[in-house]
């Protein structure tokens, strides 16, 4: 199974990272049909996501986001495009919220 690993550093702190994660969840559900399960923690949160052909997790930390995903056979051939789109969407959310920190 093809795998994605994306790590995006930030300096926004955990409360703002949690807000960004909630926006990411809404986007993943609306745009990609993902089912998401948000699991809050003391120092980091975890978002488990899945849909037919893809599943993974997003770790939400005070200083970074870390996304790991496994892609099914059909999505595997689009791995580079999917990774680029996820990176762009996450960066757009970070840019949107960076003025609020």
What pLDDT, on a 0 to 100 scale, did the predictor assign at position 75?
A: 84
Digit-coded pLDDT (tens) for 1-60 = 789 999 999 999 999 999 999 999 999 999 999 999 999 999 999 999 999 999 999 999
Neighbours of 56 (CB within 10 A): 19
- What is the residue-wise DSSP string for 37-48? EEE--SSEEEEE
Please, which pLDDT band fits residue 100 given cuts at 50, 70 and 90? Answer: low
pTM reported for the whole predicted model: 0.90
In Å, the largest CA–CA distance within the chain is: 40
The residues spanned by each domain of the chain are 3-95
Average pLDDT estimate for 59-77:
93
Digit-coded pLDDT (tens) for 75-96 = 888 899 999 999 999 999 999 8
| CATH top class, domain 3-95 | alpha beta
């Amino acid at each position: 199974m093809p795998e994605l690993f994306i790590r995006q550093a930030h300096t926004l702190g955990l409360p703002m990272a949690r807000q960004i994660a909630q926006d990411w969840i809404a986007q993943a559900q609306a745009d990609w049909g993902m089912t998401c399960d948000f699991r809050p923690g003391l120092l980091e949160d975890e978002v488990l996501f899945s849909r037919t052909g893809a599943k993974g997790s997003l770790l939400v930390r005070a200083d970074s986001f870390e996304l790991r995903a496994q892609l099914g056979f059909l999505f595997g051939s689009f791995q580079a495009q999917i990774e680029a789109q996820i990176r762009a969407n996450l960066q757009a959310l970070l840019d949107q919220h960076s003025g609020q920190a």
